[in-house]
A and B are shown apart, each in its own frame.
Chain A
Amino acid sequence: MLLELTAVRAAYADDVEVLHGIDLAVGEGELVTLIGANGAGKTTTLRTIMGLAAIKGGAVRFRGQDTAGLSTPDIARLGISLVPEGRGVCPGLTVFENLRIAATPWIRFGQSIRPDLERVYDLFPVLAERRDQLGWSLSGGQQQMLAIGRALVARPGLMLLDEPSLGLAPNLVEEVFETLKRINAEGVAVLLVEQNAFMALEVSQRGYVIERGAVSLESDAATLMNDERVKAAYLGG
């Protein structure tokens, strides 16, 4: 397994435990979706993997390596990148500079960033047109593309996405999911947190349902989409 969480418990700074024992795994090249209500612990799961929330028990392993004690930059260097909820685009940097900072883990070894940029500009031509525009001046959709592009420049083996469709127009939501499929087809494993569970499961191979900080259901995507309980609770009938 590429990523493996075993009985992970995690809490935020105020010591309120949010995850009460999460077991989940993502294989090489897989696209996996986490669904669940607001406050169930989906975002916290992603943050815990990234080392942004304190692990209180259990273990997170990436390519077999335990991430306990590693800082967030170290975890990013292992090959995990996060596209955070709200995009986290640096408002005062240009599109190019936003992409460039993600190359930090490897660029000092003298490798060229050009192929990475070309890959991003190929996926999102609009970013190429706006490469010198400042982050804040982009529309919500362009910012989401930039955030995904930036995660790609980090050359991840696993990409974590938190609500990539949030606040996007329907035609853009469609575009984002198409892009995720493409990125996944190129060999990057994806762990996706999404309220738009229907569209997320459609592009996924497997899915987990998280309730109150623990996994309550795990299955392949097609089964989840036909599960009566999942339908009622997360797919809107």
Chain B
Amino acid sequence: MNRRSLAIAILVVLLLAIPLVVTSTYHMRIVNLALVFGLLAVSLNIVLGYTGQVALGHSGFFGIGAYTAALITEGGSGLLFWPGFLAAGIVTGIAGLAIGIPALRLRGHYLALATLGFGEIMRHVFFNWREVTRGMDGISGIPAPSIGIVELQGEGSYFYLALAILALAVLFCWRLQASKYGRMLAAIRDAELAAGTSGVNVARLKIAAFFISAVLAGFSGSLYAHLIRFISPDAFTFFEVTAPVLSMVIIGGVGTLIGPVLGAVVLTFLPELLRVSDAYYQLIYGAGLAAMVIFLPMGLLGALHGRLFGLFRPRAPASPASAGPPPEESAEAPDMVRAAALLSPKGGIGTGAVFEARGLTCRFGGLVAIDALDLQIQAGTVHALIGPNGSGKSTFINLATGIYQPTQGSIRFLGQEVAGARPWKVAAAGLARTFQNLRLFRSMTVRGNVLVAAVADRPAGWFETLLSLARSRAEEADLHARTEQALRLLGLWHLRDQLIRTLPHEQQRLVEIARAVAMRPRLLMLDEPAAGMNPVEVERLVTAIGRLRELGITILLIEHNVPLVMRLADRVTVLNFGRKIAEGEPDAVREEPEVVTAYLGQRLSDRLRQNNAA
């Protein structure tokens, strides 16, 4: 038994002994409240920490759960606790779906305000819907829970029930975080656009996060009702519930597994410790909160990191070797046979035009970014798209990958209309891209970034994944194998455990390409991959693009490094003010007078001609 499991065993024993040690009913009640709020904090953390959505309506969910449980069990036997508990989860879950849908459109402050409004609305419903909620009179006569014939009458026996439910919730979160869904949620949190174009169904996952969070909040509401045995609307306000629970999550550690529980314990007990000074206790409490946020910016869990026998250390290394210099790259070339086996485009290379835009137009207000553009990309080629800054090149990629909606025109990819489709649908169809101004998942390692986008042959569902069944484990192994090949292909394997932010710019660009390649795309759109690279780095990029071609990936290349374009491209299209001004073989295009004046400039044009002659 290693130190970590020993420490966990000791912790479990200590937890189980709490009711034997704490003899005062009053103090035991506070312990139990900490467990109830711990569960609510865990629930908020799923939306706030894992998914990065600021939601301020948890008092509403908590109240719906409490009222549902109270109405079902009121005046009845303690055995009704269980149906009431389940109903609380279900009803609140439905409310969570209702909130999750607007959350798809709203972001940041707007989502915060909308959810805040939801909490307020629910408070008024509890208060004014007297026929059901009894208004200010509240609901009393809520029984203590029973298990079989055992009634959990005292605070001590209730403790074991609440602890067990909280432990199950934490276990669930642990599985969720460690699964592919946990990675996808973190990807949404770090870079929502890139998550979508990497094939993550952003809409479905956000709704799922709100649903799961709401179900857990409903459970905690039910536990609350059966602990206090009386509920009234003033227990479910922003200041009674949402604000403290938000503080618990932030002080405990946003996005961590048990930080929120720790925060709940600390914040529930802090007022008790401060009771010594009745007059100033609110003041000290407030100042204490502010001090914790200032001095423990990573939360309590961050402060405990690495102490207490590693009990609070995340199992996966969070930042291995990030302090030291990156390990040297091994000179060995990737095994192209293995790479081809795992990374060849899904559905084959294809023939003819894989991509065709017709009459594509995109206007932003009065500005015409793309003007009646026709563009065909032939399978297996490198097709370059060049033109002055602001000529519509990036807009074109955004239109093709579902980020912008075209004003007019059609985009057919592999015979399928994709204009206006959601980014993850386009990604799933086999169209991948990189971003000009890097959009990587910054909290993750290099490997984690690529894993998000990797596509397995036999994906596992929610149930199999959360229970880690054979199929899910096989999928993970598959994803890891493909990720390894994608990283080796780009010469990044030695950096796999580095955090993204510790890498220089050039390597971050290559990670973007590796992430796209792991999707096994038929067509890959590269937006200025060589920007900020020196000639040596550009050579590495040329090698990498050569390997992508070898795999059979068709490439659209946007690039200002014209000599690079001339070397790589089979065909070049030149845009100016959103219109095509030239198209053809590279050598022919660079001689067009309009291209020289609008884009190349005389000097570069002369130099290219000299190079060609030499």
Contact = CB atoms under 8 A, between A and B. Distances in A.
A37 B539 CA distance: 13
A235 B535 contact: yes
A236 B535 contact: yes
Nearest to A16: B323
A139 B390 contact: yes
A39 B504 contact: yes
- Which interface class (under 10, 10 to 19, 20 to 34, 35 or more) fits A? 20 to 34
B542 to A, nearest CB: 11
Contacts of A169: 387-389, 560, 599
A174 B390 contact: no
A233 B536 contact: yes
Nearest to B364: A137
Interface string A161-185: 0010011111111110000000000
A37 B531 contact: no
A38 interface: yes
Contacts of A35: 534
Contacts of A149: none
Contacts of A139: 388-390
Interface in B426-466: 436-437
- Which interface class (under 10, 10 to 19, 20 to 34, 35 or more) fits B? 20 to 34
A141 interface: yes
B533 A195 contact: yes
A197 B600 contact: no
B497 interface: no
B538 interface: yes
Interface string B477-497: 000000000000000000000
A217 to B, nearest CB: 15
Contacts of B389: 139-142, 167-169, 172
A173 B506 CA distance: 20
B298 interface: no
B609 interface: no
A232 to B, nearest CB: 8
Nearest to B505: A38
Contacts of B603: 174
B237 to A, nearest CB: 36
A96 interface: no
B390 A171 contact: no
Given A38-B537, A195-B532, A141 B390 contact: yes
Interface in A211-237: 233-237
A211 B599 CA distance: 34
Contacts of A167: 389, 436, 528, 531, 560
A234 B536 contact: yes
A147 to B, nearest CB: 14
B474 interface: no
B314 interface: no
Given A167-B389, A169-B387, A170-B604, A38 B532 contact: yes
A62 B145 CA distance: 75
B601 interface: yes
Contacts of B502: 16
B436 A170 contact: no
Contacts of A141: 388-390
Which of A35, A38, A141, A174 lies at the interface centre, i.e. has the most chain B CB atoms within 10 A of its CB? A38
Contacts of B373: none
Nearest to B598: A171
A91 B539 CA distance: 35
B504 A171 contact: no
Contact of B560 (A37, A38, A86, A170): A170
B535 A171 contact: no
Interface in A50-100: 85-86
A234 B537 CA distance: 9
B205 interface: no
Contacts of B372: none
Which 4 pairs between the two chains have the least Cβ-Cβ distance?
A: A236-B535, A139-B390, A39-B504, A171-B601
Interface of A: 14, 16, 35, 37-39, 85-86, 139-142, 163, 166-175, 195, 197, 233-237
13 contacts: A16-B323, A38-B504, A38-B505, A85-B532, A141-B390, A167-B436, A170-B560, A170-B600, A171-B598, A173-B601, A197-B535, A233-B536, A234-B534
Given A39-B507, A168-B389, 15 more contacts: A37-B504, A38-B506, A38-B533, A38-B537, A39-B504, A39-B506, A85-B532, A139-B389, A163-B532, A166-B531, A166-B532, A167-B389, A167-B528, A169-B389, A233-B536
